[in-house]
Chains A and B, each alone.
Chain A
Amino acid sequence: MIWDVEFILGHMNYWLFIVLMMVGFYIVVAKGNLLKKIVGLNIFQVAVFMLYISVGKITGGTAPIFPADLTGHIEYDPSILYSNPLPHVLILTAIVVGVATTSLGLALIVRIREGFDSIEEDELVEIERAMMIADNAEHGSSMGGRA
């Protein structure tokens, strides 16, 4: 098996994206603590930001800012190569969305802590199962006790 080193190194940003994304995804799925889940979700989202931003990079390209003199006059120089600014702008929006999601998630965790006195998933599941069993015991008669 031949390792195409150039291919592997040349796609470094994608490898990092995949690793970060999977790390985040793993945390979301595997960790029982709700706070850790939110952290994992953040890593997962940041991985996507990285994908987008790295896609906008053009080899040899500089920051996509037109040089303006003090009067604000812009001298456009076609010989300068700029990176693609669009993915950056898109990701600005996605970052805002990510912040909103995180804050909402944290607010929900505070409320869950107040209501259930726990933020560990297994304990929550246990409490909810007990509630469900109580519900069924109370209301299950209409199902002939089978529920």
Chain B
Amino acid sequence: MAGDVEIREVAMTLHAQLPALQIVVPFMTAPLIVFFGKRETAWWLAFLSCSVSLVISYLLLMQVIGGGFISYQMGGWAPPLGIEYRIDAANGLILFLISLVATITMPFAYRSIQAEITRSHTLFYACLMLCFTGLMGMVITGDAFNVFVFLEVSSLSTYVLVAMGAERDKRALTAAFDYLILGTIGATFFVIGIGFLYMATGTLNMADLADRIQGQESSRTVRAGFAFIVVGLGLKAAMVPLHLWLPRAYTYAPSAVTVFLAATATKASIYVMLRFMFSVYQPEFVFHTNVLQILFIPLALLAMFGGSFVAVFQTDMKRMLAYSSIGQIGYMLLGIAMLNQSGVSATMVHMFNHGITKAVLFMGVGAFVLRAGSSFYDNIGGLGRKMPVTGAVIVIGGLSLIGIPGTAGFVSKWLLVQAAFENDMWPIALLIVLSSLLAVIYVWRVFEVIYLQAPNEWSEASDPPMTMLVPMIILAVACVYFGIFTDLSLGAAGTAAEALLNGSFGMAEPSLDTSALPLDVPHGAGDAGADATGGDH
């Protein structure tokens, strides 16, 4: 049957083009949204394209979860000259997280944005899609300079999204401006680092870089490049002394934006940092420079305690959660610093688990803002009783943030403690537990405020509309699900950590059967991809 064969061929081609579609679909949605210019269409388009991305990222993750990687050549130009998209278990998991959060945030954003922003909704969704594309691109690409391009795509749209909170509080503008200055400095540092690497090696493909750096470890150019890259990405990831933009940006951004950013933006940067540390520079290099022991462990501990400590004294739940994010980023960096398999997989899992946990909690904040006008503790007193589902969801998220067994947060903290013990660093294991106690304090404050205080007599707050409730419930269930069934998260993270630590990302042939991948057949989507995302470089 000729028809059958044709269909199968189309399907095969489409399947082979998945890595490109992952980026092209959301990327092209942004101009489409502006083109149609209608609020309803904008939302539907954005939601549709996020859902498609989610399906694609799931398919990709399933292909690589057992090990190996997919190498996709943009426009049919072979690496190291062409831009390569490379998907393995590590970025497969992060891609899945980002598209999952984006898809679930969309229905939530619909009402939340209506309530918080009065105009430019279409442009808002276009910016959100660009931000989404940028984050996905940073994670999926295997080309160092392409990371910078996508980093800037996501950053520039993030500044706009943060500034959109100006209608509620004009401080969103200065927050966005601060973030713009710091973010640009960070991104420029990153470019300088890549420039040094290019000087030393003459290539930009990550795998090729890794090969050519071998033997040059003591070169000052290579080392300076490492320093610039770590500092630049540290700024974007809000590593502790470089975190100043984060609390203000998260506090004043519209709720839906905070949900999306808190769950994805810093994670993408941390992933890129992992990627550069372990697959461009090798673990041995990182180990020999002692950067992890001297720099990362103290800073991570400072973040864990400092961030959590400041969070305890906040009067605004949204700001409290922002400071808590800084603390949680500390856990992720600590996992990297352990430099063993449990540590790195703890980081990977914690990125995923913390992403969904924070998304739930910020969604709860969004619901409070919708019903009570703000998320200051004295405004939301007793609301847990008036908004039972929202309250319950926040309780689950809060427990997961602390790391109570049975929730997602427990799994990653457990792995982290285990990693510390493997390195015989029992004081650090103790400190992880101690800093979790600080989380108990600030989470308990929220519980106390929303349940134990008497609600305002005149308050007519009730649970938010279904479009906001359902995403919250889904994510809360996910918090519990990934706390009990850890096959997906732990499996992918374990594979990823093993591959990262073995530094096995040379220019080896893809171990998967990717014969269908296009060297010579850049049909349709592949062409568009080359024009849209690769062509500008």
Chain A CB within 8 A of B195 CB? yes
Write out, one digit per residue, whether chain B residues 157-191 have a CB within 8 A of any chain A CB (1) or not (0): 00110010010001101101100110011011001
- Secondary structure class of chain B's binding surface, majority of residues: helix
Q: Which chain B residues border A111 with CB–CB below 8 Å?
A: 163, 166, 173
Chain A CB within 8 A of B33 CB? no
Chain A CB within 8 A of B379 CB? yes
Report Cα–Cα, A55/B196, bound state, in Å. Answer: 10
On whether the beta carbons of A115 and B173 are closer than 8 Å, the reply is yes
The size of the chain B interface, using a CB distance under 8 A, is 40
On whether the beta carbons of A109 and B177 are closer than 8 Å, the reply is yes
Write out, one digit per residue, whether chain B residues 136-161 have a CB within 8 A of any chain A CB (1) or not (0): 00000000010011001000100110
Q: Given that A34-B177, A97-B152, A115-B166 are contacting pairs, would A51 and B379 also be in contact in the complex, using a CB cutoff of 8 Å? A: no
Q: Which 3 A-B pairs have the closest CB atoms?
A: A115-B170, A139-B376, A142-B377
Q: Which chain A residues border B315 with CB–CB below 8 Å?
A: 135-136, 139-140, 142-143, 147
Partner of B171, one of A128, A140, A146: A128
B468 to chain A minimum Cβ distance, whole angstroms, is 24
Report Cα–Cα, A45/B192, bound state, in Å. Answer: 10
Q: Given that A37-B181, A115-B170 are contacting pairs, would A51 and B198 also be in contact in the complex, using a CB cutoff of 8 Å? A: no
Q: Which chain A residues border B171 with CB–CB below 8 Å?
A: 128, 131
B199 to chain A minimum Cβ distance, whole angstroms, is 6
Q: Which chain B residues border A28 with CB–CB below 8 Å?
A: 181, 185
B438 to chain A minimum Cβ distance, whole angstroms, is 16
Tell me the residues in window 15-61 of chain A with beta carbons closer than 8 Å to chain B beta carbons: 25, 28, 34, 37, 41, 44-45, 48, 51-52, 55
Q: Which chain A residues border B192 with CB–CB below 8 Å?
A: 48, 51
Tell me the residues in window 109-147 of chain A with beta carbons closer than 8 Å to chain B beta carbons: 109, 111-112, 115-116, 124, 128, 131, 135-136, 138-143, 146-147
Interface size class of A (residues with CB under 8 A): 35 or more
Partner of B159, one of A25, A104, A140: A104
Q: Given that A141-B378, A142-B378 are contacting pairs, would A108 and B173 also be in contact in the complex, using a CB cutoff of 8 Å? A: yes
On whether the beta carbons of B188 and A93 are closer than 8 Å, the reply is no
Q: Given that A93-B537, A104-B159 are contacting pairs, would A142 and B177 also be in contact in the complex, using a CB cutoff of 8 Å? A: no
Q: Which chain A residues border B191 with CB–CB below 8 Å?
A: 48, 94
Q: Which chain A residues border B36 with CB–CB below 8 Å?
A: none
Q: Which chain A residues border B297 with CB–CB below 8 Å?
A: none
On whether the beta carbons of B173 and A143 are closer than 8 Å, the reply is no
On whether the beta carbons of B313 and A108 are closer than 8 Å, the reply is no
On whether the beta carbons of A48 and B188 are closer than 8 Å, the reply is yes
Report Cα–Cα, A147/B187, bound state, in Å. Answer: 35
Chain B CB within 8 A of A90 CB? yes
Report Cα–Cα, A3/B490, bound state, in Å. Answer: 57
B164 to chain A minimum Cβ distance, whole angstroms, is 11
Q: Which chain B residues border A52 with CB–CB below 8 Å?
A: 195
25 sample A-B contacts, Cβ–Cβ < 8 Å, listed by A number: A25-B185, A41-B181, A48-B195, A55-B195, A55-B198, A90-B204, A93-B145, A94-B148, A94-B191, A97-B187, A100-B152, A101-B156, A104-B156, A105-B177, A108-B163, A108-B180, A109-B177, A111-B166, A128-B171, A131-B171, A136-B315, A138-B376, A139-B376, A143-B315, A147-B315
On whether the beta carbons of A89 and B537 are closer than 8 Å, the reply is yes
Chain B CB within 8 A of A1 CB? no
Tell me the residues in window 440-463 of chain B with beta carbons closer than 8 Å to chain A beta carbons: 449, 453
On whether the beta carbons of B313 and A142 are closer than 8 Å, the reply is no
